[in-house]
Amino acid sequence: MNRYEELADRFGTPLFVYDLDEITAARRELTDALPEEFELFYALKANPHPEVVRALREGAGKGCRAEISSTGELAAALAAGFTGADCLYTGPGKTDEELREAIGQGVRMFSTDSVTDVRRVGAVAREHGVVVDCLLRVNSAAASATTSIRMTGTPSQFGFDSETLGEVLPELRAVDGIELAGMHFFPLSNARDEESLIGEFNHTIGLAAQLQDDLGLPLRYLDIGGGFTVPYAVPGARGHYPKLRSELSATLDLLLPDWRTGTPRLACESGRFLVGAGGTLLARVSNVKVSRGRKFVILDAGINTFGGMSGLGRLLPVAVQPVDGEPVESASLVGPLCTPGDILGRQIELPALAAGDLVTIPNAGAYGPTASLLMFLGRPAPTEVVVRGDEVVSVSRIEHHRSYETELVR
């Protein structure tokens, strides 16, 4: 019996296993790949499990800061030992209530996406008698990489359009309670290769330097985003970036020559790269059936457990971790839900499976339970086990309950 079989027998399935040693290794790889002057933010949206977040904050080497976009993520960051001052609060739809909570908890840096967003941040900051830093998220009019998931260069709820930023800058400068501290970019996600990632970062740095010069924009802080890759739910290794440090350094030396002395302070951010390879999903086969010549392998884990973001067309299909030399066949891997949309993989290669067999889905540490349809059909959330080596650090499950009006108005 291997390690995963032991954990599945002990805690049941569906079961997520998060390996803190693997997560710490990913953090070390990425910090080593970047110039040492860079700060690294962990995007909690990828996996807000407190033990995972804590492992990225502490431990040997350089820890991460926290990138959050809700008060729920703020609570998870605080529970993992971050302070509000460690957090960058992002998102295009911040409400007054969220901002009051965040600023009250000590958050002092916000990425902003519009004039009204900046005004709202400033108004709440004045209520608290503080001044907070605002980074202007910039939606570049052009892009470098032609592959990967594009996050810029198109109409978007995210960021100020770079070509019209100068027109609104006087309004932004007039807002009290905030200081324009710099810029935030996030041009792509899950870059296909190092060349496209470096090209996009270089384009971003060039645009930031141009906006600083042309518009007189302050640039104390520059977050150039992420895009670091790891396979999602299929076998494979994290991206490798041997040229990144030297290429970024050369570009910064040319365009922002004071960067080595902290002008501006520099940051990157990552979610999936840091945690993706550190997670494995274990599920059991509930049934196998054939319909009109096609085989369906039905698991106890579906889109309520994993892949609820599949409607975006970004994350699936999955692949089962094979055993060397094991024969394979073509079948659809589906979940237990009463909907034809509960498909994890359509006509993919699978080992010959039978009811009761354990299925292992690798690289499942990012966008798991909290990115899934957890409450659909009322099935319990999967169990999440955190391990470090052979030690089980924690065992938990997300629980939902309905709050009635008497509870809400207390």
pLDDT of residue 154: 61
At 278-334, the pLDDT tens digits run 999 999 999 999 999 999 999 999 999 997 554 444 445 566 765 655 778 899 999
Taking the C-alpha atoms of residue 92 and residue 153, their distance in angstroms, rounded to an integer, is 17
Q: Give, in degrees to the nearest 5, the angle at Cα 84 between 81 and 90.
A: 115
The pLDDT confidence band at residue 348, using thresholds 50, 70 and 90, is: confident
pLDDT of 152 reads 53
- Percent of the chain residues topping a pLDDT of 70: 89
pLDDT band at 410 (very low <50, low <70, confident <90, very high): low
Burial pattern 62-92, b for ≥16 Cβ within 10 A else e, equals ebbbbbbbbbebbebbbebebebebbbbbbe
Specify whether the CB–CB gap between 203 and 187 falls below 8 A: yes
151, pLDDT greater than 60:
no
Q: What is the pLDDT of residue 140?
A: 81
Checking phi first, is residue 389 left (phi over 0); if not, alpha (psi -120 to 50) or beta?
left
Paired tokens of 210? 């141009």
Q: Quick one: pLDDT at residue 60?
A: 62
- Asked if the model's pLDDT at residue 125 lies above 60, the reply is yes
Please answer whether residues 161 and 139 qualify as being in contact, where contact means their C-beta atoms are separated by less than 8 angstroms.
yes
* Residue 302 token pair: 């579906």
pTM for this model (two decimals): 0.92
3-state helix, strand, coil in the chain (%, to 5): 35, 25, 40
Euclidean distance between CA atoms 323 and 109, whole angstroms:
47
Which one, of 221, 237, 230, lies nearest residue 185 by Cα? 221
Domains located in the chain, CATH noted:
34-270 (3.20.20.10), 277-397 (2.40.37.10)
d(CA 226, CA 222): 12
What pLDDT sits at residue 321? 63
Q: How confident is the model at residue 408 (pLDDT cuts 50, 70, 90)?
A: low
Segment 164-214, tens digit of pLDDT: 899 999 999 999 999 999 999 988 888 889 999 999 999 999 999 999 999
pLDDT in tens, 11-63: 999 999 999 999 999 999 999 999 999 999 999 999 999 999 999 998 666 89
381 pLDDT more than 90: yes
Contact assessment for residue 20 and residue 47, using Cβ atoms and an 8 Å cutoff: no
Return the structure tokens found at 181: 């501290």
Does position 90 have pLDDT exceeding 70, yes or no? yes
